[in-house]
Amino acid sequence: MADSWDGSSEIGSQSDEIFHFERVHLEPIYDAFVCPLTKQVMSDPVTLENGQTFEREAIEKWFRECKESGRKMVCPLTLKELKSTDMNPSIALRNTIEEWTARNEAVQLDMARRSLNLGSSETEILHALKYVELICQKSRSNKHIARSAGLIPLIVDMLKSGSRRVRCKALETLRIVVEEDAENKEMLAEGDIVRTIVKFLSHELSKEREEAVSLLYELSKSETLCEKIGSVNGAILILVGMTSSKSENLLTVEKAEKTLENLEKCENNVRQMAENGRLQPLLTQILEGRPETKLSMASYLGELVLNNDVKVIVAKTVGSSLINIMRSGTMESRESALKALNQISSYEASAKVLIEAGILPPLVKDLFTVGSNQLPMRLKEVSATILANVVNSGYDFDSILVGSDDQTLVSEDIVHNLLHLISNTGPAIECKLLQVLVGLTSSKTTVLNVVAAIKSSGATISLVQFIEAPQKDLRVASIKLLQNLSPLMGQELADALRGSVGQLSSLIKVISENIGITEEQAAAVGLLADLPERDLGLTRQMLDESAFQMIISRVVRIRQGETRGTRFVTPFLEGLVRVLARVTFVLADEPDCVALCRENNLAQLFTDMLQANGLDNVQMVSATALENLSLESKNLTRLPELPPPGLCGSIFPCFSKPPTISGLCKLHRGTCTQRESFCLLEGQAVEKLVALLDHTNERVVEAALAALSTLLDDGVDIEQGVTVLCEAEGIKPILDVLLEKRTDNLRRRAVWVVERILRTDDIAYEVSGDPNVSTALVDAFQHGDYRTRQIAERALKHVDKIPNFSGIFPNMG
């Protein structure tokens, strides 16, 4: 039974790889040194009552197994029962073995040292490294022996081996040599050893990479080596990448994570981690670090470039702490907090987090405070930038208190203070404060308050003057603000531009710059487009500035594809078309506008733009412009000169026939052309307008219907107008518009047009059989406004749905 027992699997067995080292003895192995159970040299010999000596751990295991199996306690050698299981330590034998071991290990260590050179074979080097591992694992004192024997530099040299197995084993051996030994760790801090170890991290998914991480984890337990590891370019970046890898060995990921946790002891490493996307250590320092550490980390946070998702995390984690520092810290700490808040407020979602954390009151206070505790101008600029970021997040600011007396950002006093600061600070702060107003006027819930405050402060002229600012950012901010204000302050802004010297010219100059299409240009043309289109004085000034010729040129170039690819092309083109359409609103009062339309054949240009698919605003404005042009056609058509009647005709007019003149416009009864009289029929615009009646955008449909209604106006031949619509297959689409009842305006316009069409008996007869049309007219008659009800009543009479009493009671007609 004793012969079959083998404890070598658990008790200090040594690999066959180092057998050749064990053969080199100063003295032979004595039988007394060897445990009969393990067949290995004993390290803690004990003697039983019968005088037999065994390794303590081995004989204890023997007795435990006897007890567990219910056998008698017998000696493993003699198999005779023992009266007692007491064990007496063999001190003399142990000392003799230790002396013998030390002498032999010295010889074996020397042999290993000689094998650790790049000229040895791979097998010899691997055996030597394995032996060093074993003696270092045997006792901590052996690690001192290995250091004294100069083995550590030799093992490091093995990292340069051409054999992957050797390099991998060398990394493993170094880890065992430095475990729990500060002096051995310090030796690896010398020279470029750490850099060499870090290089192994770049070996993708290899055993070397795993061993290098394990070694770095062990080294990172030393604060000196933490700095050394962090100083190696790319070390922290690779470790951070490993912690988030899905393909790494889980143990390797864990070691990389623990290594980074150890490296956090050094502030420079924390900064590097933050720079490489591992922000939590930096945020923890801001929350829990010493005051000076909080200051430096907050300052560094302000320098980092963060992606938007990270900004939200940072805002949620340290936003409140940074706001508290901004409220009550020293000037230096307030500066650090402001810079960090500036960074994380630049994304809409993170800005909203800061708003909920209470950033607005201290921000406003910092901007408006004067005296000994006021911020220097460079920090007020940062505060203004943060406020601009926050305000442009789309939050509901009319419900957030920012001062005493229940004041909000859009309270009159607050807006007045902002306007005062804008007029009394430098360009940088002025720009940011204008951006604040841009944000507040971008919301329907707050723009009315801002407009009221601007009007009550008389600041319109001051704001308009910024159009001429030499600083582009300042100019862009002012133009965007004025564009936001123009729907509610259009006439005031038009008056300011007309009465000023240079501002209108500056706007036109911005639009005309041939540098692609910029945000500034889109905002400038949008501002001009929003101004009252019937302001004749402004239109005349734009004529004097040759603005319309420049705008026509830019529209043509965009349509020809010469300008494309920027995100501002669409708003810029829409603005250009709207500004160009201004000339069609004052044709009756300004001959120069008629001349401009003729010279540049604007009727053709607007007709072409009816087919600008996908650009609803361009189509809508073009249709409106054609409506205006068509309304003037009856005044611009050239009526034929009739020859005087002969003698007989003058005496007996009933015998004379009117002369027949061919080539006249059947609508306007004169000579029409698209260029000269803007005739829709001659310009072949009718079919294109009819096509728009099926548009999904109600405003486009309404504009197209309005343009078509000019064919049925009082100044033209209505019967011929109906014929034109029939030929263009426009009757059914017009009736469909009436039936759909999409908006009140569309219904009002459709009822007017349908009534005119139904004056033609054939159409009236055909429509009278359609109950849907009758129902739609009855609905308009019952629910429309006064004018619509009147027109619907006439239409119903045309289809005999209401009795026509005018024939019976002529005076009631």
Structure confidence by residue, pLDDT tens digits, 408-447: 999 999 999 999 999 888 899 999 999 999 999 999 889 9
Output b/e per residue, 158-176; b: 16+ Cβ within 10 A. Answer: bbebeeeebbbbbbbbbbb
Q: Residue 229 has what pLDDT?
A: 95
Count other C-beta atoms under 10 Å from residue 190's C-beta: 12
Asked if residue 271 lies in contact with residue 306, where contact means CB atoms within 8 angstroms, the answer is: no
If you ran DSSP here, which 8-state letter would residue 395 be given? Answer: -
From residue 189, alpha-carbon distances to 228, 263, 269, 366, 508 in Å are 7, 15, 17, 49, 68
- Is residue 17's pLDDT more than 50? no
Mean pLDDT to the nearest integer, 20-37: 74
Q: Residue 478 has what pLDDT?
A: 95
Non-local CB neighbours of 788 within 8 Å, separated by 6+ positions: 747, 748, 751, 752, 780
Closest by CA position to 34, among listed 96, 83, 107? 96
Q: Residue 662 has what pLDDT?
A: 58
The two most distant CA atoms of the chain are separated, in Å, by 169
- Tens of pLDDT, residues 616-673: 999 999 999 999 999 999 899 887 765 665 555 556 555 555 555 656 888 888 889 8
- Is residue 7's pLDDT more than 50? no
Asked if residue 44 lies in contact with residue 55, where contact means CB atoms within 8 angstroms, the answer is: yes
Q: Which long-range contacts (CB under 8 A, 24 or more apart) does 286-294 make?
A: 286/318, 286/321, 286/322, 287/317, 287/318, 287/321, 291/333, 293/267, 294/325, 294/333
546, two tokens: 């040759």
Q: Residue 267 has what pLDDT?
A: 93
- Tens of pLDDT, residues 250-276: 889 999 999 999 999 999 999 999 999
Mean pLDDT to the nearest integer, 769-796: 90
At 5, the pLDDT band (50, 70, 90 cuts) reads: very low
Q: Residue 6 has what pLDDT?
A: 36
On the CB side of 27, CA atoms within 13 Å amount to 12
Q: Residue 593 has what pLDDT?
A: 95
On the CB side of 321, CA atoms within 13 Å amount to 19
Mean pLDDT to the nearest integer, 589-614: 94
Q: Residue 583 has what pLDDT?
A: 96
At 87, the pLDDT band (50, 70, 90 cuts) reads: very high
Asked if residue 548 lies in contact with residue 542, where contact means CB atoms within 8 angstroms, the answer is: yes
Taking the C-alpha atoms of residue 120 and residue 129, their distance in angstroms, rounded to an integer, is 12
Q: Residue 810 has what pLDDT?
A: 45
- The whole-chain average pLDDT of the chain stands at 88
Asked if residue 278 lies in contact with residue 240, where contact means CB atoms within 8 angstroms, the answer is: yes
- Tens of pLDDT, residues 131-187: 999 989 988 888 998 898 899 999 999 999 999 999 999 999 999 999 999 999 999
Q: Residue 140 has what pLDDT?
A: 86
Non-local CB neighbours of 789 within 8 Å, separated by 6+ positions: 780, 781, 782
**786 CB burial (10 A radius; 0-12, 13-18, 19+):** exposed
pTM of the model: 0.74
Count other C-beta atoms under 10 Å from residue 642's C-beta: 9
Non-local CB neighbours of 344 within 8 Å, separated by 6+ positions: 301, 306, 311, 314, 315, 319, 350, 354
Output b/e per residue, 54-85; b: 16+ Cβ within 10 A. Answer: bbbbbbebbbeebeeeeeeebbbeeeeebeee
Taking the C-alpha atoms of residue 393 and residue 353, their distance in angstroms, rounded to an integer, is 10
3-state secondary structure of 657: coil
Q: Residue 26 has what pLDDT?
A: 59
Strands 407-408 and 401-403: antiparallel
- Tens of pLDDT, residues 305-349: 999 999 999 999 999 999 999 888 789 999 999 999 999 999 999
From residue 545, alpha-carbon distances to 461, 493, 533, 708 in Å are 21, 18, 17, 33
Output the CA torsion sign for 583, 588, 592, 595. Answer: positive
Q: Given phi > 0 = left and psi -120 to 50 = alpha, else beta, which region is 191? A: left
Closest by CA position to 363, among listed 346, 343, 330, 385? 385
Q: Residue 665 has what pLDDT?
A: 87
Number of residues that this document lists for the chain? 813
Mean pLDDT to the nearest integer, 600-625: 95
Query: Over pLDDT 90: what percentage of the chain?
Result: 67
- Is residue 738's pLDDT more than 70? yes
Taking the C-alpha atoms of residue 411 and residue 339, their distance in angstroms, rounded to an integer, is 27
Taking the C-alpha atoms of residue 282 and residue 287, their distance in angstroms, rounded to an integer, is 9
3-state secondary structure of 330: coil
Count other C-beta atoms under 10 Å from residue 121's C-beta: 10
At 11, the pLDDT band (50, 70, 90 cuts) reads: very low
**805 CB burial (10 A radius; 0-12, 13-18, 19+):** exposed
Asked if residue 249 lies in contact with residue 210, where contact means CB atoms within 8 angstroms, the answer is: yes
Count other C-beta atoms under 10 Å from residue 5's C-beta: 14
- Tens of pLDDT, residues 683-702: 889 999 999 999 999 999 99
**The dihedral formed by the CA atoms of 771, 776, 777 and 781, expressed in degrees to the nearest 10:** 130
- Is residue 1's pLDDT more than 70? no
Mean pLDDT to the nearest integer, 728-745: 90
Please list the helix, strand and coil fractions of the chain in percent, rounded to the nearest 5, in that order. 65, 0, 30
Taking the C-alpha atoms of residue 766 and residue 750, their distance in angstroms, rounded to an integer, is 18
From residue 110, alpha-carbon distances to 100, 104, 134, 332 in Å are 16, 10, 15, 61
Non-local CB neighbours of 488 within 8 Å, separated by 6+ positions: 447, 448, 451
- Is residue 4's pLDDT more than 50? no
At 106, the pLDDT band (50, 70, 90 cuts) reads: confident
